[in-house]
Structures are given as structure tokens and as C-alpha cells.
Amino acid sequence: MTLIDRAKQGIITDEMMTVASDEGVTPEFICRGIANGQVVIPISPYRKTKPIGIGKGLKTKVNASVGTSSDIDDIALEVEKTKVAEASGADSLMELSTAGDFYEIRRRVIEATSLSVGSVPLYQAFIEAARDSGSIVDMREDDLFKVTEEQAKLGTNFMAIHTGINWITLDRLRAQGRHAGLCSRGGALMSAWMAHNEKENPLFSEFEYLLEILKRHEVTLSMGNGMRAGAVHDSTDRAQIQELVINAELSDKAHEFGVQTIVEGPGHIPIDEIQANVVLQKRLTRDKPFYMLGPLVTDIAPGYDNIVAAIGAALSSSYGADFICYVTPAEHLALPHAEDVRVGVMSARIAAHVGDMVKLGDRNDDLKMAHARNEVDWAKQFKVAIDPQTAMNIRKERMPSDTNTCTMCGEFCAYKIVKEYFEL
């Protein structure tokens, strides 16, 4: 039985108990959420991981990504980035390599973390086709399913699979046109393959076969957003919405089949369209967990896209998104290094917290910080800080002569003045 099968029978599992304790809800709440498709816990029969709950009524989770590229293929670097992501507080990890020994990279990354790990099988299938036959368009349909099963057996917990790209979606894309095409590698690869071979996307046409593989290995299906826009001027267009409609319908089939399902959302969105995107995604998918990719709310800040995405992620979370993908300062510029990963995770965690302050009404830590600052209690401030070490390092480097204050205000510290002259 899959986790969904157990949940539908009212069976409380260890994973449900752990998630309930972490979230401050009852195990029955988690069980009902999984049974109705509004909550998922990505698991695998092949490895033990730290269980996380993603979905309605739960804290917004942060995903970090690692993986090689055709220019930088260094397994040791990806393992280092994996460890940095977990140490920085990421809730899950995606391994997205596009170069090197795919099996060995993924094996090493999975061994290096206790987090749930995701992948995109389509990348490997297309890139191996290019290596073996000379072109991505020579990819064989069976290879997609073969790679999916191989990755599942390594202990992959969830997979982004581009099910919603079909001839209708591509017709919508051609009819409307775009300023900046597609920013999804998976979407670009599959669209090119379909156009060249004049064939339907096998992940759509053979969807039930895909579900059989995922159910056999208890993999959570993250329905890839292949039509997401790479520019704010292309957001919320016909191709994006058409793919969402298809994925919404397929997500119902997946849930009925016993496969836990997440539905992914678009990438570049101006802030005045974020709420509409979240509401539409939630309405069409019957409140299934929503994985927001970004969103990036402006296109003109390379080098600072972690901040751009944090703005979008905070709003997305506040409106009901359940899962956000971090963005590093290296986005659009280079493969991220370890420090980029740390900064990306911290930016996304802050955004998730800001969103949860609205979505869940959870402002307790902020109140603790307010009291600690009012009491000029530095130990308490560091304890409640989202990144205590960075805060302590900054203060240590610029320690004031009066250790009750900081070098920003010094002897004219507002808290000190208030305490000295009158009591609130």
C-alpha cells in the first residue's frame, strides 16, 4: 500500500506522526490531508529521510537545487553544496545534473543528505540520447521510463515530470507567441523533441504507465511546469494556463491511482499577478500542494535574483503556495557555488517565514525577537534569529565599547534611552 492508500484507510504512519509533531497539528489532520490530496510527505522505500509535510495548513517549505552543468562537472562540489543546503535549513533538495556520470552524482548526493531528494528524469534521458546518438531529438520514448525507474531505485523521493506539455499546449504557445520563449529546460527539450519527431509527449500519452512506475517505487509526482515564462512580460499567458489545466486533470488521476502529487507553478511573474496565479492554481487542482518556482518579479537584477525571488516567494506563500524553490545570486549568470547555495536557502527561508506570518498567522518568533530587543538581551536575539551565526559574526566584528548596545546607535540606543527615562 502507498501512503495515500494507508491515509484513505485512516492508518496513521510514523511519517505522519513526525510531520504532525513538527507542524503542531494532529496526526489525523495530516492523514486527512494526504487522503484528500492536499498534503504530501515525499518518502522512498529505499532510504530513510527526514519526513516533511507539504500542503494546506502546513508551514511553507523550501527546496534547494544542486547539480552539474556541461561547463562545471565536479561531484565533490555538488556534495559540498548538498551539505551546505541542509546545514542552512533547506527542507528538501533537487539534484539537477546535466553532465557527468548521472548515476554516481545522484548516488553521492543522496548519501550526503537526510533530506528528501528530487530529480528530473527527462534531463538524463535527453542528454544521454545526445551523447549516444548525436542529438536530443533522438531520445527514445522507452528511455524516459527506464531512467525514471532507475532514479526511483536510488531512493529519489519526488520527481519533476513534464506531463502537461502536449500538442494543445504547443498550439497555444505558437498562437500567442512570447518575448522570451521558455525558461524551463524540460519544457524546451520536450517541445523540441515533439516538433522534430511529430509525436505526442510520451509522459502525457503514456501517463498511466508512468503512474505504475511511480506507485511501484512510492515516488511523489511533481507535475513539471514546462511552459513557465522566462520573462515577466510573458507571464500568465495561454500556454501556461493550458498546461495548468492539463496538469490539474492529470493530478486527479494520479491521486486516485495512489500517487502523491504536487503541482508546479510559473517562474517569472510581476507582483500584481501572483495572487491570481496562486488562487487559480489552487482552485483548478482542488487545493493540491503548490510548488512555486520563484517567482521572479523583475527581470533586471542579475546578481540579486535571490532577493527578487524572495519578494515573489513571500507573496506567494502569503496567498497559499506550499513549497518554494530557492533562487541564488548566481541565477541567470553561472552555476552556483556553495556560498551561493547558502545565501539562496537563507533568502528563501526568510521569504517562507514572511509568507507564513500571513498564511498561518504565525508571528511568535517575531514577538520573541521584539521582547529580546526591548530587553537588550543579545543571547535571546541570537537564539531566535533565523541565522544566528551570521548575526553573531557581524556583531563580533564590530563590537561596541558599551556591549549593551551596537555600533549602529552606540550610546544613543533607542532601547537604552527608553529604559533610562521612562517605562512602557
Distant-in-sequence, close-in-space partners of 128: CB < 8 Å, separation ≥ 6: 102, 143, 147
Taking the C-alpha atoms of residue 331 and residue 33, their distance in angstroms, rounded to an integer, is 34
Query: By C-alpha distance, which of 87, 380, 247 is closest to 239?
Result: 247
CB atoms within 10 A of CB 356: 18
Taking the C-alpha atoms of residue 247 and residue 225, their distance in angstroms, rounded to an integer, is 9
Overall fold of domain 59-359: TIM Barrel (3.20.20)
Taking the C-alpha atoms of residue 46 and residue 55, their distance in angstroms, rounded to an integer, is 24
The burial class, CB within 10 Å (0-12 / 13-18 / 19+), for 45 is: exposed
Strand partners, 268: 296
Taking the C-alpha atoms of residue 198 and residue 114, their distance in angstroms, rounded to an integer, is 42
Q: Which residue has the cell 530587553?
A: 375
Regions in the chain scoring below 70 on pLDDT: 423-424
pLDDT of residue 416: 82
Domains in the chain: boundaries: 59-359, 364-421
pLDDT of residue 175: 95
Taking the C-alpha atoms of residue 114 and residue 143, their distance in angstroms, rounded to an integer, is 29
Confidence (pTM): 0.96
pLDDT of residue 424: 62
Give 120-171 pLDDT, tens digit per residue: 999 999 999 999 999 999 999 999 999 999 999 999 999 999 999 999 999 9
pLDDT of residue 397: 94
CB atoms within 10 A of CB 420: 9
b/e map of 81-119 (b: 16 or more CB within 10 Å)?
bbbbbbebbbbbbbbbbbbbebeebbebbbebbebbbbb
Give 55-107 pLDDT, tens digit per residue: 999 999 999 999 999 999 999 999 999 999 999 999 999 999 999 999 999 99
